[in-house]
Structure 1
């Protein structure tokens, strides 16, 4: 019995040892596929914290492992409408919410119209550097400078060393280049032509804003005489241009020319406005000519000599009157200036057979018939005097000196 119990005790001990060895073997075998240390290979520093990609979220100082950078403007940033030639700025905020340093931190831009303010990273006013410590924040200043009239896009991309917990971060950039105000004048110059000194000519000038923004502080300097705004002030009576000209809209100026003298007159009207970026000025050339006044000339030599005429007889001569001026001669009056023995044939201007009337157009001619009837032997002198007015209202005169000699009929034989 005693031996039996000893045998049983030995068998029982064997079973316990064998069982324990089998269990231990299972434990050892279970560890054969991993680290001999018994820790999870994804746990980089053995602290048991594993990130979403199987790397230690805490990481080591000086690496990007565990860095988790957040960037503002999750939906991207639209600079909106920006004038060509100007710059709009925006600051993106970066924050490292992770446990590791983002190193090296790289921020890049795409899109020709986008750049770091001032030209280099992180942009003027930006604070980001080559790394971003855990828990730290910084800024990147990005500029939008459109060079064309179009909608454009680009990206801002943030990277750090071996990568970020959440991967590279991209923000979309957008903006639209718009044109400054541009006022076009039609016609580009104004020629009033030849205008009578007694009248005024008026012209309407159209201004159109072909830009994308309003033209502000639109003004036109009052031109010097003989040019003017109709009524004396901008925009001229009937004109519609005021201080602002909206994008795509048109307005008018009414300008006049009232020559006070003959000949060419010319000046430059200065138009100016603010285009959204700077002040612009544009010249508008005004020109016109004052028409020369009426000018009557009487044919024949000076003086006209009837020669020797027998006493008691009548000599006559037909004179041609021509208007060589630029205005019609009006209110022509030839009744004065003829002294005996000279007279208009038949007793009144223009003389029987003459064609002159009270008005003579530019370049036109007419005739008048003058007689010489000496009553005694003598030499006689006189003047034909034609009084007339030009279209400017001035009284003008034309002269022709007359001479003749009365002689005895016997002297002519």
Structure 2
């Protein structure tokens, strides 16, 4: 049925009137609203197959994500912007720091059946996972409509010793043995997989061509150790290495290294180096 040339609605300072905009926004705060220009159908903005997943990224990196937004309605969207008080918080941001992001072709308006691309970034400086919601608003022809974008990303696995600093094996007699338990944990945002381990002799110690340090029993991870080269170490999980110190002479065996190589989900050859100190008498 054809719409009448003019229709009016009487109102007086209704609380909900602040949400009305578009064809209403220039109407008085009370009296009569002219409904003759209210569209039968409104603008509808939707992200195209948007998942908001930045994946697993290295700490202190920056990753961009393009978000295609389409107006599927028959009415133009206007005043597209970040909703009031809903600015994105780190580690998420618009590329370049402001809406719609450097390289974006979006503006404050979007015609019917048109599309534009927002550009977002994820730049984690702390261990993940991280999550946020980007909230935009736009005038759909009648009211201010929201558009929500859930965002999530996580940092790579990060292997750290349970106790910071060198492992001290003391000052035993030459020919004696001392064992130490070393705990390492995944403090990152995704699972990691240990790949190998090796003991490193200081270049400044030519008198000791072989390391006096090894694993208890002679093989990784040491007798009764729980670390594995097969099963990934989950986020927050800790495993145990059992190390053995066997000094053959009365020397200073400080500043030796245990290198643990692991796949952090981004780089296949990340590493953790643990310093081993000991002397002998």
Matched, 1:247 2:225: no
**Residues 141, 53 of structure 1: CA spacing in aligned structure 2 closer, same or farther, 3 A cutoff?**
farther
Q: How far apart, CA to CA, are the structure 2 residues paired with 1:286 and 1:147?
A: 29
Q: Which runs of 5+ in 1 are unaligned?
A: 1-38, 44-49, 59-65, 292-413
Structure-to-structure mapping, 1:254-265, within 5 angstroms: 254-265=242-253
Secondary structure at the counterpart of residue 248 of structure 2: coil
Work out which of the residue numbers 159, 169, 176 in structure 1 matches 2:145. 169
Measured against aligned partners, the alpha-carbon deviations of 1:281-307 in whole angstroms (never above 9, x if no partner) come to 43322222233xxxxxxxxxxxxxxxx
What residue number does 1:214 align with?
A: 191
Cα 1:143/1:69, change in 2 over 3 Å? farther
Superposed CA RMSD in Å reads: 4.1
Judged with a 3 Å threshold, the aligned counterparts in structure 2 of structure 1 residues 155 and 249 are, in CA distance, closer, same or farther, namely closer
Alpha-carbon spacing, 1:216–1:119, altered in 2? closer, same or farther (3 Å): farther
Partner SS state of residue 136, structure 2 = strand
In the aligned structure 1, how far is the partner of 2:195 from the partner of 2:247?
28
Structure having the higher helix fraction is 1
Partner residue, 2:110: 132
Aligned ranges 1:288-307 → 2 under 5 Å:
288-291=278-281
Distance change >3 Å, CA 150–CA 280, structure 1 → 2: closer
* Match 2:214 to one of 213, 228, 233: 228
Of 177, 199, 210, which residue of structure 2 is paired with 1:200? Answer: 177
CA distance in 1, matches of 2:36, 2:130: 42
Work out the CA distance in 1 between the residues paired with 2:175 and 2:94. Answer: 67
Q: Find the aligned partners of 2:147 and 2:265 in 1 and give their Cα distance.
A: 29
Give the Cα–Cα distance (whole angstroms) in 2 for the partners of residues 238 and 132 of structure 1.
64
| Aligned counterparts of 2:43 and 2:120: Cα–Cα separation in 1 | 18
User: Any conservation in 2 of the 1:89–1:141 contact (CA below 8 Å)?
Assistant: yes
Q: Which residue does 1:32 correspond to in 2? A: none
Alignment equivalent of 1:54, drawn from 24, 35, 43: 35
User: Cα 1:253–1:78, aligned 2, differ >3 Å: closer, same or farther?
Assistant: same
Partner in structure 2 of residue 285 of structure 1: 275
Shift of 1:152: 5.3
Question: How big is the shift at 1:53?
Answer: 7.0
Q: Deviations along 1:20-61, whole A, 9 cap, x unmatched?
A: xxxxxxxxxxxxxxxxxxx83469xxxxxx999724368xxx
Cα gap change, 1:80/1:171 in structure 2, threshold over 3 Å: closer, same or farther?
Answer: farther
Displacement of 1:245 after TM fit? 2.0
1:154–1:173 CA contact under 8 A, matched in 2: yes
TM-score (norm 2): 0.63
Residue-pair matches, total: 234
Matched residues in 2 for 1:77 and 1:274: separation?
26
1:72 maps to which residue? 46
**Could you tell me how far apart the structure 1 residues matched to 2:88 and 2:70 are?**
21
Tell me, yes or no, if structure 1 residue 156 matches structure 2 residue 146: no
Asked if the contact 1:218–1:245 (Cα under 8 Å) also holds between the matched residues in 2, the reply is no
Unpaired runs of at least 5, structure 2 = 9-22, 25-32, 201-209
State the TM-score, normalizing by the size of structure 1. 0.45
Mapped contact 1:201–1:256 kept (Cα < 8 A)? yes
Whole-Å separation in 1 of the counterparts to 2:193 and 2:265: 8
Match of 1:123, SS state, is coil
Q: How far apart are 1:209 and its partner, in Å?
A: 2.2
User: Structure 1's 173 and 144: CA in aligned 2 closer, same or farther, altered over 3 A?
Assistant: farther
